[in-house]
Amino acid sequence: MKLISWNVNGLRACLKKGFEDVFQTLDADFFCLQETKMQPGQAEVNAPGYWQYWNSAEKKGYSGTAVFARREPIQVTYGMGIDEHDHEGRLITLEYEKFFLVCCYTPNAQNGLLRIDYRMRWEDALRDYLSELDAVKPVIYCGDLNVAHQEIDLKNPKTNRGNAGFSDEERGKMTELLDAGFTDSFRYLYPDVTGVYSWWSYRYHARENNAGWRIDYFIVSDRVKQAIQEAKIHTDIFGSDHCPVELDIDLG
């Protein structure tokens, strides 16, 4: 089973930069998108053979997630059932017989950590939500999680310490999530690999210089980590300031 996650930073813009070619070339069973920045009907994606699920923010042109699935799920849930967290289109959960798939676009703590208190409440609620799912069946959790967990997950850890995405608070919440029974698929296979990132600023020629951050993840329940076959980061694919990340897993 092949899954792709990609923050497209505006799907309508990404469609003009070859999104459909990438979609067809990667040929995934599940394609999870973050930061779609659109309402249903504002753009059409040519994806025959896929079920499409969209969760748009109430604020137009902001946030938003989508999932394209080759198999129809048993059930689809939008948000986590908490009013404070369910207005920005950040979460879609698909339930299947053997697993839950959760597509997430985590709130950014913003410059100066202006939104860090909200981010902490989100992280606690999301961890509880994932743990509740995990008590029923294994979870595959993916998306732009807006945190580089370890120093090897970004090019310049010393100068970014305390900034949004690399604050002690955000990194600590990622540690809490993993300690709650989850595995970062990329680090499971490649614990010491450096210089592989999924996001680069549009400023300072960051992508040319590979001055990036690994903030896009596939995280799975611990009990299925041995089913992980591959975890890829497609740094050669453009169209957004993020690149797609991939999980290949065999759940039988």
Residue positions annotated with a catalytic role: 105, 144
Closest by alpha carbon to 116, among 177, 166, 159, 169? Answer: 169
Listed in order, strand segments (DSSP E) in the chain are 2-7, 30-34, 51-55, 65-69, 75-78, 91-95, 100-105, 139-144, 182-184, 199-200, 212-213, 216-221, 228-233, 245-249
Angle of the 116-134 helix axis to the 168-179 helix axis, nearest 10: 10
The set of residues, in sequence order, having a beta carbon less than 8 Å from that of 78 and lying 6+ positions away, is 55, 86, 89, 91, 92, 93
Strand order in the sheet with 75-78: 75-78, 91-95, 100-105, 139-144, 216-221, 182-184
